[in-house]
Amino acid sequence: MGLKGNHGILHSQVDNFFSNPENAGKIESFESPVEKHHGRTETRIFYRVADITQFDTSENWSGLKSIFAVRRIVETRYGTSDETNYYISSLDDAPEKMLKTVRSHWKIESMHWLLDVTFSEDDCSLSSENAHKTLNILRKFALLLHKTFIAEHNLKTSLKTHMFECLLDDDLFLEICS
């Protein structure tokens, strides 16, 4: 689970711990291989606190076994971004597996972001739960169709633009659906 500022005391403790150079010996680290794709070079560094007993976690976080951070350094032609996110987990696996779990989570978050931005899903005000479920399935299917079509044809267009083009061109719409 991502640990954010709204988690109050624990977030503050974790942020202070990782930021303090005196704690370097108490932190395990693992660097994933550098990834280069789509004009981006991305480096991920995994940091885990070796001993979590020093954090006040007993009351609100039962079952907590690990506290860790993932630092992402992304270089593009526009510049470099460097951000660190903190996480807590009931798992205590190898760094490689924990990093893979975090990446899987971001794939899901990315899809939900797409559903909200492309389809304004959060603004949908239907009162029927079945209608929400049905529309969610149809939206995900539409995303799949468009993303597959764009990838197969090596198109350099955004998903939203491509969907709009389909609304204007019946032949393109039928080609995607076939």
Tens digit of each residue's pLDDT, the chain (178 residues): 777 777 777 888 888 888 888 988 888 888 888 888 778 898 888 888 877 877 776 556 777 888 888 888 999 989 999 988 888 888 777 777 777 777 666 666 677 777 877 778 778 888 888 988 898 889 889 888 988 898 898 888 888 888 899 889 999 989 988 8
- From 82, 159, 153, 80, select the one nearest 115 (Cα to Cα): 159
**Would you report the helix, strand and coil content of the chain in percent, each value rounded to 5?**
55, 25, 25
Look at strands 27-31 and 40-49 and give their pairing.
Answer: antiparallel
148 contact partners, CB below 8 Å, separation of at least 6: none
pTM summary value: 0.61
